[in-house]
Amino acid sequence: MAQATHPVHYTRAEYRAFERSNNAKHEYLDGVIYAMAGGTREHAAIAVNVSTLLSVGLRGRACAVHSSDLRVRVVETGLETYPDVTVVCGKAQVDPDDSHAITNPVVVVEVTSSSTEEYDRGEKLAHYKRIPSLREVVLVGHRERAVEVVRREQDGSWTTHEARAGGSVKLVSLGCELPVDEVYRDPLVGG
């Protein structure tokens, strides 16, 4: 996280007002507003590919796939963030204090970058694991064609499952798969 230039502590209400009046996205935690890193064309294309694959795989089911415009609030830790892709199944639970944030994702997807990878795989993942409804976190690598699924098992433990080029990862909570080659597919460069 890149901290805002002012070492001021904000209330959640001030953060929400700030987000409504700002074109850029920011995370919020413990009174601090953090600017989110801008994405590359490749990052955006990968996020859309994942969204498309999930939307097709979930067609006809009571699940909705959302872009990075949907804010997720981790109630237990206070983190408010914008995953690259969020899936909600059943009725969305909206934060009682913020109608623009949901609290019950089933799956979140983060496309890593060189500036966010450590945070996405470390502190942010730890926050996500505190969401009771969350079943899987998908981490899409930026250095190589690799997709990881961090899955909450029935006993509450978390396991990691990875696939590389030519393989696919299963999203057990959604009953669908993400073929790695399709996640990274770029028709502008032939693959």
Are the beta carbons of 191 and 175 closer than 8 angstroms?
A: no
**Residue 186 neighbours by CB under 8 Å, 6+ apart:** 42, 45
With 60 as the cut, is the pLDDT of residue 23 above it?
yes
Full set of structural domains in the chain with CATH:
40-183 (3.90.1570.10)
pLDDT of residue 3: 47
Which has more pLDDT, 148 or 189?
148
Of 25-39, 45-59, 90-104, the one with minimum mean pLDDT is: 25-39
pLDDT of residue 85: 98
What is the Cα–Cα distance from 21 to 136, expressed in whole angstroms? 32
- Model confidence at 53, pLDDT cuts 50, 70, 90, reads very high
pLDDT in tens, 136-186: 999 999 889 999 999 999 999 999 999 999 999 999 999 999 999 999 998
CB-neighbour burial class of residue 132 (10 A; exposed 0-12, middle 13-18, buried 19+): exposed
pLDDT in tens, 57-91: 999 999 999 999 999 999 999 999 999 999 999 99
CB-neighbour burial class of residue 85 (10 A; exposed 0-12, middle 13-18, buried 19+): buried
